[in-house]
Chain A
C-alpha cells in the first residue's frame, strides 16, 4: 500500500466515510487552533476514534495529510451495468457459502480492505480467485489447503 502518487479505487460508501472524517477532523483542527472546545464532541454520530485526535495534534495532522492525499487521488468504483453486473469485480458485495457456512463480503481495493469487517482486497488470493465468477459458480481454492466458495448472490451498490 504505497500511498503516494497512487490511484485509490474506493466504494461510494468508503469515499463518503473518508470525506466525512476529513471534514470532521478539519473542524477539530480549526477549533484547537482557536483554543475552543469543538462542538463536534457533543455530536451523537461522533466516531469514538476521534477522541485520540482531541489530545494529539501530531496524529491529527498526519491523518489529515493522509486523507488529503487519498481524497485527491481517489476514484469511485463504477457500478457495472447489464451483463457485467452479473460477474464479480471490484466493488461487488458477494454472498458466499464456504465449507458449509454463509458469509458476506465486499471486494475492495487494498486501501479500503479490512477483512475483519468483511472488506476483502481484490489482490488477496481469495479476492483474485473470485473475480470473473457468477452466481452458481463454485470457486475452488486449493493452494495447498482446499476450500470451496459457492457464489450465492452478487450485488453492486
Chain B
C-alpha cells in the first residue's frame, strides 16, 4: 500500500502545476494540469457516450493519465520551441498566432517531447505493480501516437478542453481570447460532434459576448 500512497502523492502534485500556456498569457489564477485532466475526463465521458463502438472506460482512463508525465517533464507548449519573444511582456502577443514549424522541426519536436515524457512516466510509475504500470504506459503510448479510435478522440478532447478554458479566460478578463487556440483546434478537431461542441463554445463565450 505504501507504493500506492507514494503514487497518489505524486499525482496530487499536478494540482499545483499550472498549465504553461495560461502562465505564458499571464492568466491570474492559471488552471493546473489536474484541473485540465479532470474536466477532460468529464467531457470525454459525456461526449463519447453518444459514439458507438468506443471503449468508454479506456477513454476516461486515458483522459485521466494523459498528462501524468508532465510532473517531471513539465508542460511543454509548441511556443517553447523558439516561438517566444525575448521580452516576457510580449509573450501573450505570441498567442495571436498558432506557431508554425517545418516538417523536420515538427518531427524533431515531437520526438524530443515524447522521450522526455516517457522517461517521466517511467519514474512516476516505477514502484507500482506491473499490471498498473503497463496499463498507464500503454494508455499514454496509445494517446501519444494516436494509435486507436479512443486515442484519436481523447487527443481532440484535449484540444477542446483547452479551447473552452481559453474562451473562459477571455470572458473573465473582458478581453478577446487569443487566436492561437481557435486556429489550432480548427486544424486538429475532425470529429463531427466535437466540431459542433467547438462552435457552441465559440457561440457562448465569444460571439455572444461580442453581441452584448
In the complex, the answer to whether A145 meets B179 with C-beta atoms within 8 Å is yes
Q: Is the interface of A mostly helix, strand, loop or mixed?
A: mixed
In the complex, the answer to whether A101 meets B97 with C-beta atoms within 8 Å is yes
Residues of A within 8 A of B23 (CB): none
A59 to B148, CA, bound (A): 12
B149: nearest chain-A partner, CB-CB: A1
A52 to B145, CA, bound (A): 13
Residue picked from B145, B184, B188, B207, most chain A C-beta under 10 Å: B188
In the complex, the answer to whether A116 meets B183 with C-beta atoms within 8 Å is no
A51 to B6, CA, bound (A): 27
Interface residues on B, range: 35 or more
A117: nearest chain-B partner, CB-CB: B106
In the complex, the answer to whether B186 meets A3 with C-beta atoms within 8 Å is no
In the complex, the answer to whether A104 meets B207 with C-beta atoms within 8 Å is no
* Per-position binary interface string of chain B over residues 117-149, scored 1 when its CB falls under 8 Å from any chain A CB and 0 otherwise: 000000000000000001001100100011111
Which chain A residues numbered 125 to 157 have a C-beta less than 8 Å away from chain B? 125-127, 141, 143-145, 147
Partner of B186, one of A49, A63, A99, A124: A124
Interface residues on A, range: 35 or more
In the complex, the answer to whether B102 meets A104 with C-beta atoms within 8 Å is yes
A3: nearest chain-B partner, CB-CB: B149
Q: Does B52 contact A (CB under 8 A)?
A: yes
Q: Does B103 contact A (CB under 8 A)?
A: yes
Q: Does B169 contact A (CB under 8 A)?
A: no
Residue picked from A56, A101, A105, A124, most chain B C-beta under 10 Å: A124
In the complex, the answer to whether A144 meets B206 with C-beta atoms within 8 Å is yes
Q: Does B212 contact A (CB under 8 A)?
A: no
In the complex, the answer to whether B106 meets A125 with C-beta atoms within 8 Å is no
Known: A116-B110, A124-B188. A145 touches B183 (CB 8 A): yes
Residues of B within 8 A of A101 (CB): 97, 100
Residues of A within 8 A of B52 (CB): 2
A143 to B199, CA, bound (A): 8
With both chains docked as a complex, state the minimum distance between the C-beta of B90 and any C-beta of chain A, in angstroms.
Answer: 16
Q: Does A118 contact B (CB under 8 A)?
A: yes
A130 to B141, CA, bound (A): 31
In the complex, the answer to whether B138 meets A145 with C-beta atoms within 8 Å is no
B141: nearest chain-A partner, CB-CB: A52
Q: Does B40 contact A (CB under 8 A)?
A: no
With both chains docked as a complex, state the minimum distance between the C-beta of A13 and any C-beta of chain B, in angstroms.
Answer: 12
Q: Does A30 contact B (CB under 8 A)?
A: no
A107 to B195, CA, bound (A): 18
A117 to B113, CA, bound (A): 13
* Per-position binary interface string of chain A over residues 39-79, scored 1 when its CB falls under 8 Å from any chain B CB and 0 otherwise: 00000000001001001100100010010000000000000
Q: Does B7 contact A (CB under 8 A)?
A: no
In the complex, the answer to whether A1 meets B152 with C-beta atoms within 8 Å is yes
- List 8 additional A-B contacts (Cβ < 8 Å) besides A102-B100, A116-B106, A125-B186: A2-B54, A103-B100, A116-B110, A117-B107, A118-B106, A125-B189, A144-B202, A147-B186
Residues of B bordering A, CB below 8 Å: 51-54, 96-98, 100-103, 106-107, 110, 134, 137-138, 141, 145-149, 152-153, 179, 182-184, 186-192, 195, 199, 202, 206-207, 210
Nearest 10 CB-CB pairings of A with B: A121-B190, A123-B190, A1-B149, A101-B100, A124-B190, A103-B100, A115-B188, A125-B186, A145-B182, A126-B187
